[in-house]
Amino acid sequence: MTHAATPGATAPADPLSAATGAAESSDATAPRPRTAAYLDLDKTVLATSTTFALGTPMHCSGLISTTALARGVVAQLPYLLLGADEDHTSRLMDQLAALNAGVERSRLQEVVSDAMATAIEPAVYAEALDLVEAHHRAGHDVVIVSASIIEVVEPIATLIGADRAVATRLETDAEGRFTGRVERSLLHGAKVEALEADTAEHGIDLARSWAYSDSISDRPMLEAVGHPVAVNPDRELRRLAEQLDWPVRDFERPVNLRRPLQPTIPRPNLAPVRAIPSAVLPLRWELVVNTGVLTGVAALTATAVAAGRR
């Protein structure tokens, strides 16, 4: 597919200006298919990982036991720090689903709702909010597409003003409890299938649509649309974007939605770390530095160890 990467590699403040201008100059009498913007969640909309942001609230609420939390952290460490292939990440998804076996879906939704103000709202990128507003001004649907579970993704989509969410679904029994099995996973190429289903349901033209992601694992989703954009890309995706002349945008301003007028707290200067030659860095060190995953792992591990000692 030949991508019409309208925004350009330097990514202007409003990446939709050229595209909307072209649309307005077309035949106004001809029926036009709908357009959508599909946004990944972690490190694209949020400056954190939803898994780690909500891990501690779920543990404190009793949804996840100390033992289960420790096992979950141990299971994720090798893959977060060293990378993982499709088989490994699929097994990890199954392990995380198993942690929720027996949990009432309504209880999980309640815990997520209570944790939004402290765990999620302060981590939303201001640039992502600007992007959502720009797409809405252009008359586009905004859809969050994430491998996280729908009970987590849907309220975040509502929070930022997206029109809907497409996410992983866990199986529930007749009483509304999770069985510990995955009903529909959005790992890897499954996001493309989800996009195709969304386009069929809502009359979206993928060739006119946009996709935003930070991860090379979302390459199939980015290649499925006419306007792919790499946001805070990992090393492999940044390289690919340069090769294919895709726009690259770096979001840096998380904003607390409850206090939008407060000045943004300056972020630590990571320039010295990023200046280290890439050959010296471990395979996923850039991912760890840029997403705060290491901090999340350390926090969860400390919580689990401390609780185990009591």
Active-site residue list: 40, 42
Cα distance between the two ends of the chain: 58
* Spatial separation of the C-alpha atoms in residues 181 and 106, rounded to whole Å: 17
**Which uninterrupted H or E stretch holds 165?**
strand 164-172
Note whether 45 and 160 are within 8 A (CB): yes
Residue 125 · residue 40 · CB < 8 Å: no
Residue 199's identity, in one-letter code, is T
Query: Helix, strand or coil for residue 142?
Result: strand
Q: Which amino acid is residue 300, in one-letter code?
A: L
Sequence-ordered alpha helix ranges (H) in the chain = 17-24, 50-60, 66-82, 86-99, 105-115, 126-137, 150-160, 190-202, 219-223, 235-244, 271-274, 285-291, 293-309
How far apart (Å, rounded) are the C-alpha atoms in residues 115 and 112?
Answer: 5
Distance CA(81)–CA(60), nearest Å, equals: 25
Question: Which tokens in the block code for residue 233?
Answer: 């890309």
Angle, helices 50-60 vs 66-82, to 10°: value is 170
Which amino acid would we find at residue 177? R
The residue type of 43 is K
CA–CA dist 211, 207 (Å, integer) = 11
